Amino acid sequence: MRAQPKASHFIDGDYVEDKDGTPFDSVYPATGEVIARLHAATPAIVERAIAAAKRAQPEWAALSPTARGRILKRAADIMRTRNRELSELETLDTGKPIQETIVADPTSGADSFEFFGGVAAAALNGDYIPLGGDFAFTKRVPLGVCVGIGAWNYPQQIACWKTAPALISGNAMVFKPSENTPLGALKIAEILVEAGLPKGLFNVIQGDRETGPLLVNHKDVAKVSLTGSVPTGRKVYAAAASGLRHVTMELGGKSPLIVFDDADLESAIGGAMLGNFYSTGQVCSNGTRVFVHRTIKHAFLARLKERTDAIVIGDPLDDATQMGPMVSMAQREKVLDYIAKGREEGARLITGGGIPNAVNAEGTYIQPTVFADVTDDMTIAREEIFGPVMCVLDFDDEDEVLVRANGTEFGLSAGVFTADLTRGHRVADRLEAGIVWINTYNLCPVEIPFGGSKQSGFGRENSLAALNHYTELKTVYVAMSPVQSPY
Ligand code: NAD
């Protein structure tokens, strides 16, 4: 098995196996090949991971932020040096083409370690509050043991985006990757140890929806950060609430992307394609409802079809491949069901809609698909598909499109393409979303906050804002004169 790790879990600085856990296979989606065989964590493994994190955390928190940052920055350097190897593993784990993983996965994780490693020395300060003689000051204190639970679309990135702000703030982390993509996080654990991270501060345990609750409900866990779907988010939030634990919820979306008639057409089409087809459409922030002004609809669709049909689908480890398979057979079935529903409900198929020829038949490939004449009430316009299915909807004016764009329970992201700067800002202001892009789509550098509103979640990853979600404020009041007591 070509990606078999030394053991399933990584606890207290080393690999750990417990064969009492339910066995499961890690499958390379491009061929159906079993590339690793692992075991889900037993309750004993969960206990061991949380105990290791709890034991290691106080000493780590007592270090200066600069000392902690030095280790994270070293981890960033190691990740960049080993980018090819990590990207290949990410490709095996997810099926995403190497062309993407080489620029978007380990490198994004490394950015996160570098950013938080660098800024924390200045960003973890508190305030001094003068009180006319007396004074108070605030400290940013870590929360303790944090749990991260990941989705399968960006396994390495998600692990790093949660772990970098958690560690720099003085916390310990127990991370559970998605059962579909268990491999990348183990490599990150190895790299953090190589960078000098004391043992016990970053632990990886495997498992699925049965394992997650053992972490979320554990009495020694102070915070849970989930990346996953809205239904999972509801369950995890409810469980965390029963223990009054802190939460960050990075959930799903059905984001609007609005293309006005004055937009640069090639750029708007490029943005819409990136925002629907990158990672075979398995991106939470994708702009899957593309509202195109009626006057440019025909030109938009014709060129979109031309460019979509030219996408190179194939072996993800081939540098020329632009689109790989979906993460699993189950996910492909789900997407094909949505495509069938789109047809049934009267959407017009422009291109795609099936399984491509000339690729490995055991792989979970699917064609990039475009529907036109989609209306707001269709299932494909309302539900998150999480596959390469673009819905193009027509609109006539700005007020109308804003009401329709906001007419969803989700609020993760949104985009607008227009040459009119004032309109761009006006529309961005009115779109109900955690992040809005003007004249681009899906760019998420570590310097900017990322996260959703409405049912898409709350809390923010990346940027200085993430530090607020891994620390709490402690206030110290200092009296400078004797107590004046009426008693
Ligand atoms: P999922 O909700 O099925 O699973 C997410 C994780 O939660 C997995 O690790 C799973 O094992 C775990 N889990 C499931 N039930 C649990 C429970 N009851 N308690 C604890 N843990 C539990 O999501 P998925 O299919 O892996 O990923 C796709 C979803 O993730 C999509 O909805 C997508 O939009 C969302 N997503 C969001 C972001 C974001 O940043 N907002 C990023 C990527 C993916």
CA nearest neighbour of 323 among 359, 287, 354: 359
CA nearest neighbour of 97 among 333, 311, 330: 311
Cβ-Cβ contacts under 8 Å for 318 (sequence gap 6 or more): 97, 98
- Encoded amino acid at 154, one letter: Y
pLDDT-above-70 percentage for the chain: 100
The residue whose CA is least distant from atom 9 of ligand 1 is 178
Q: Is the pLDDT of residue 358 over 80?
A: no
461 catalytically annotated: yes
Q: Band of the pLDDT at 359, cuts 50, 70, 90?
A: confident
Average pLDDT over residues 146-161: 98
β-partners of residue 411 are 453
Q: Band of the pLDDT at 285, cuts 50, 70, 90?
A: very high
Q: Is the pLDDT of residue 246 over 80?
A: yes
Kindly give the interhelix angle for 65-81 and 83-94, rounded to the nearest 10 degrees: 80
Task: Determine the Cα–Cα distance for residues 275 and 354; give it in Å rounded to an integer.
Answer: 20
444 catalytically annotated: no
Is any atom of ligand 1 closer than 6 Å to the C-beta of 227? yes
- pTM value is 0.97
Is any atom of ligand 1 closer than 6 Å to the C-beta of 153? yes
Is any atom of ligand 1 closer than 6 Å to the C-beta of 313? no
pLDDT of residue 416: 98
Average pLDDT over residues 395-424: 98
Task: Determine the Cα–Cα distance for residues 19 and 210; give it in Å rounded to an integer.
Answer: 17
Q: Tell me the CA–centroid distance for residue 162 and ligand 1, in Å.
A: 14
pLDDT of residue 74: 98
The answer to whether the beta carbons of residues 334 and 360 sit under 8 Å apart is no
250 catalytically annotated: yes
Convert the pLDDT of each residue in 60-115 to its tens digit. Answer: 999 999 999 999 999 999 999 999 999 999 999 999 999 999 999 999 999 999 99
Catalytic residue, chosen from 146, 160, 284, 391, is 284
Is any atom of ligand 1 closer than 6 Å to the C-beta of 205? no
Is any atom of ligand 1 closer than 6 Å to the C-beta of 212? yes
Closest ligand 1 atom to the C-alpha of 239? Answer: 19
Catalytic residue, chosen from 54, 96, 146, 162, is 162
The residue whose CA is least distant from atom 40 of ligand 1 is 250
398 catalytically annotated: no
Q: Is the pLDDT of residue 121 over 90?
A: no
The answer to whether the beta carbons of residues 74 and 66 sit under 8 Å apart is no
How is residue 302 written in tokens? 């014709």
Is any atom of ligand 1 closer than 6 Å to the C-beta of 178? yes
Q: Look at residue 24 and give its three-state secondary structure.
A: strand
Q: Tell me the CA–centroid distance for residue 85 and ligand 1, in Å.
A: 26
Is any atom of ligand 1 closer than 6 Å to the C-beta of 151? yes
Q: Is the pLDDT of residue 255 over 90?
A: yes
- Residue of 105, 178, 328 to test ligand 1 pocket, by largest number of atoms within 8 Å of CB: 178
- Residue of 227, 285, 408 to test ligand 1 pocket, by largest number of atoms within 8 Å of CB: 227
Task: Determine the Cα–Cα distance for residues 51 and 40; give it in Å rounded to an integer.
Answer: 18
DSSP state, residue 280: G
Q: Band of the pLDDT at 120, cuts 50, 70, 90?
A: confident
Convert the pLDDT of each residue in 363-389 to its tens digit. Answer: 999 999 999 999 999 999 999 999 999
Q: Which of 116-120, 142-146, 278-282 has the lowest mean pLDDT?
A: 116-120
Q: Band of the pLDDT at 130, cuts 50, 70, 90?
A: very high
Convert the pLDDT of each residue in 170-211 to its tens digit. Answer: 999 999 999 999 999 999 999 999 999 999 999 999 999 999
Average pLDDT over residues 265-274: 98
Q: Band of the pLDDT at 421, cuts 50, 70, 90?
A: very high
Task: Determine the Cα–Cα distance for residues 408 and 342; give it in Å rounded to an integer.
Answer: 18
Task: Determine the Cα–Cα distance for residues 373 and 341; give it in Å rounded to an integer.
Answer: 14
Mean pLDDT, the chain, rounded, equals 97
The residue whose CA is least distant from atom 34 of ligand 1 is 252
Is any atom of ligand 1 closer than 6 Å to the C-beta of 452? yes
Q: Which residue in the block uniquely carries the two structure tokens 């994004």?
A: 108
